[in-house]
Amino acid sequence: MADGVKPTDAVNKRQLDKVSADLDKTKRKLKAGVAGAVAVANIPQVTQAGANLLGVGVGNYNGESAIAVGYSKASDNNKVILKMSAGATTQGDYTFGAGMGYQWK
């Protein structure tokens, strides 16, 4: 049976298997992305004024894993916090993020 082309054509098993394989790959990538977010979320953050912190976080979600490294710095008056992180997943994807916060009373 030839591949279906028109909207009203039937789909053969080869086409259906390809769609299924593509969905499986997408699910693995999404799970790895969640693991990456978990890894970044578990990097500790600096707490003391004027201090620097280099940390590591790991994450796992439904069979996929990730590792992340982060750096944070507090200003001398502890009002400004700078933070950045980078990570890698078991699906070969990489993450990067950065942020800055200002706190007051």
Q: How much is the pTM?
A: 0.84
pLDDT, position 37: 98
Would you say 89 and 64 are in contact if contact means Cβ atoms under 8 Å apart? yes
Question: 58-90 pLDDT, tens per residue?
Answer: 999 999 999 999 999 999 999 999 999 999 999
The 10s digit of each residue's pLDDT in 38-62 is 999 999 999 999 999 999 999 999 9
* 13-102 belongs to CATH 3.40.50.150: no
Q: Which of 73, 80, 70, 82 is nearest to 43 (CA)?
A: 70
Q: What residue spans define the domains of the chain?
A: 13-102
CA-CA distance, 38 to 35, in Å (whole number)? 5
